[in-house]
Amino acid sequence: MKMSFLDEVEAYSNKVIEIRRMIHRNPELSYHEFETAKLIAEQLENDGIETRRGVGGTGVLGILYGKNRDRTIGLRADMDALPVQEQTGLPFSSKNERVMHACGHDSHVAMLLGAAHVLAQHREELPNNVKFIFQPAEEDGGEGGALPMIRDGALENPHVDHIFGLHIVGDVPVGIYAIKTGAIMAAPDSFRIEVEGKGGHGSLPDQTIDPIYVGNQLISALYGIRSRYMSQTKPLVISVCSVHSGTKDNIIPDKLLLEGTIRTLDEDLRKEVKSKIGTMIPSLANSFGASAKVSFMDNAYPVTYNDPEITKRVIGILSKIDGMKVVEIEAVMGGEDVSRFLQKAPGTYYFLGTRNDKEGLIYSNHNSKFTSDEDYLKFGTLAHVLIATNNW
């Protein structure tokens, strides 16, 4: 099999950009990616790729069979958009109010469809089976889309041995693949703390148990967990991001609600932090005469873990691509649903930079002005192709 596919990828790059723009113009939120899934399935079928629709909801699978039918490589892309009002001013801006591809999943789908097209032209030469996994609901943060797809057999028939995926990022310059062995992204746990005190008149705080005052103490205690109760050598983020209480300037309320996030790169630390919050917060609230109920989101994504040996091989593959550089990075404290696939099939997740100061492409993912540098999407497509044609 040929070692360089850049000419074929470049020949199809305008189609990849066209697909990306179609999806960008018609973004769909988690679990509602109906038109996106239809477009994906039609493109796969047009390339003569065996296709399965409705996997775990709106997920789509494609499969090409290689010489060794006992080995299967999975290539994964997510496809949902975010509840963001687009402000890019692009001619193909979102036509759906308050829905935007502000994280780049439109580009992820387009690049993987481009890879599927190129690989389909070489189906007789493939060393392994290649399964194309188009996943919904990555942005959900809880159940997500990977878990329903796994339950629906996405990694079976044929069984996926290794899985790979990439994510475009606005914080990394163009021309760079950013990668890391081991834990590359965090487990994103959400917490909810319901504080109950005793309300009353704002002029008589001594006759109340002020939940806002108690909440202030709880927030300080939460932020102290990192510096005073956990190992200083392990990354940990605890952020309170939502505080709700009260109705009027002269009424001390009865209740207060705190919501926030915990980010860890270690499963043992993850359990330890949640345990500490679960015991410390109610106890501290009680010391002020209030009560506090702590709960955590069910089914939060696990740590995204790159198999060290497989990742070293991926680094070697990517390092041979002319015009690109591979940079090993520190872990990112964002979370990713691809982590569930990587728990089942060891592999690698990595990043493709889109930041281009000269072109004004300077916005980070999830920003209302975020967009892709389309000239570099071909390098995402090429990376998929080269990984898939490696003999695993």
Residues 224 and 36: their CA atoms lie apart, in Å, by: 44
- pLDDT, tens digit, 9 for 90 and up, residues 321-365: 999 999 999 999 999 999 999 999 999 999 999 999 989 999 999
- pLDDT, tens digit, 9 for 90 and up, residues 222-271: 999 999 999 999 999 999 999 999 999 999 999 999 999 999 999 999 99
Residues of the chain with CATH 3.30.70.360: 187-296
How crowded is the C-beta side of 258, counted as CA atoms within 13 Å? 28
Structure tokens at 6: 């850049």
- pLDDT, tens digit, 9 for 90 and up, residues 216-228: 999 999 999 999 9
Residues 245 and 211: their CA atoms lie apart, in Å, by: 8
pLDDT score of 299 = 84
Residue 1 pLDDT > 60: no
Range 187-296 classified under CATH 3.40.50.300: no
Interhelix angle for 377-388 vs 308-319, to 10°? Answer: 120
- pLDDT, tens digit, 9 for 90 and up, residues 117-136: 999 999 999 999 999 999 99
pLDDT score of 346 = 98
Residues of the chain with CATH 3.40.630.10: 6-186+303-388
Q: Under a CB-based contact definition with an 8 Å cutoff, are residues 366 and 103 in contact?
A: yes
Residue 318 pLDDT > 60: yes
- pLDDT, tens digit, 9 for 90 and up, residues 149-203: 999 999 999 999 999 999 999 999 999 999 999 999 999 999 999 999 999 999 9
Structure tokens at 84: 């963001």
Q: Which DSSP string do the residues of 304-344 spell out, in sequence order?
A: EEE-HHHHHHHHHHHHTSTT-EEEE-PPBSS--THHHHHHH
Catalytic residues: 301, 374
Residues 285 and 255: their CA atoms lie apart, in Å, by: 12
pLDDT band at 99 (very low <50, low <70, confident <90, very high): very high
How crowded is the C-beta side of 182, counted as CA atoms within 13 Å? 7
Q: Among residues 164, 168, 291, 295, which one has the least CA distance to residue 218?
A: 291
Distances (CA, A) of 29 to 24, 81, 101: 12, 5, 9
Range 6-186+303-388 classified under CATH 1.10.3720.10: no
